[in-house]
A = this chain, B = another copy of it.
């Protein structure tokens, strides 16, 4: 049986990044895209609790030559909704692989938390399917991601060959450079955003704000983290765990267990 590969993203089903990722994925099997009907940047793992979700069939292409088949659906929900919807209502069976992206913009470091791209991989991981999120430093709507194709293919091939540990998915970030140095396996960088709000005034008065700012690592000299590797010309691959437990903190907290009702 051909491999079945599910793909979503947070830039929408007709973004260049997902179109190009689907074409790469078709070298490995049949592809089903279920992706948002428009941009959902920064949607994290949000789900549509307050609004109904609709699906729209877009197109289907049969397998030919060495390429697997392609089915594309759009969905009115978040990237995480798309993934949950695909697994329960659209895919013919549990896929062999979940891919997300290629995102127009990086999702290094703690930005994985805010990322809709990453949410697809986390959701696939929760559903026990090997899952990879791909992001690029190229932001333009008409970006060409062929410069990173070899890295994307290597990572997909490795995951199809070896799988991933249960509960672990990959966050892959490739910088916008024609001189990629290689792939670096990294931890998730830690840091925070600065000057996060830009103020504007409405034509009728009253202030409003756009989220903006710049990311600042806690420690910019930490060469083991994905944001450093990305800044320095490498495709950064960070293994991300769905289990966020701070195991090292458990013992010190047990004084709380002495609390009386």
Contacts and interface: CB of A to CB of B under 8 A. Distances in A.
Contacts of A238: 245
Interface stretch (A27-35, A65-73, A137-145, A150-158): A150-158
A190 B242 contact: yes
Nearest to A248: B165
B81 A48 contact: no
Contact of A249 (B119, B128, B165, B190): B165
Contacts of A43: 44, 46, 49
Interface in A82-129: 84-85, 88-89, 110, 112-114, 116, 119, 122, 126-128
A53 B209 CA distance: 5
In the assembly, how many copies of this chain are there? 2
A128 B188 CA distance: 17
A80 B120 CA distance: 19
B184 A257 contact: yes
B257 A182 contact: yes
Contact of A246 (B151, B165, B192, B250): B165
A43 to B, nearest CB: 5
B247 A183 contact: no
A208 interface: yes
A39 B51 CA distance: 12
A11 to B, nearest CB: 11
Contacts of A19: none
A249 B47 CA distance: 28
A56 B257 CA distance: 40
A164 interface: yes
B187 A247 contact: yes
A1 interface: no
Contacts of A197: 53, 84-85, 88-89
**Residue from A55, A184, A244 with most neighbouring chain B CB atoms (10 Å):** A244
B209 A237 contact: no
Contacts of A187: 243, 245, 247, 250
A197 B114 CA distance: 24
Interface in A33-67: 39, 41-50, 52-55
Which 3 pairs, one residue from A and one from B, show the smallest C-beta to C-beta distance?
A: A44-B44, A42-B49, A239-B249
Interface of A: 39, 41-50, 52-55, 78, 80-81, 84-85, 88-89, 110, 112-114, 116, 119, 122, 126-128, 150-151, 154-155, 158, 162, 164-165, 167-168, 170, 180-185, 187-188, 190, 192-193, 195-197, 200, 206-211, 237-250, 252-257, 259-261
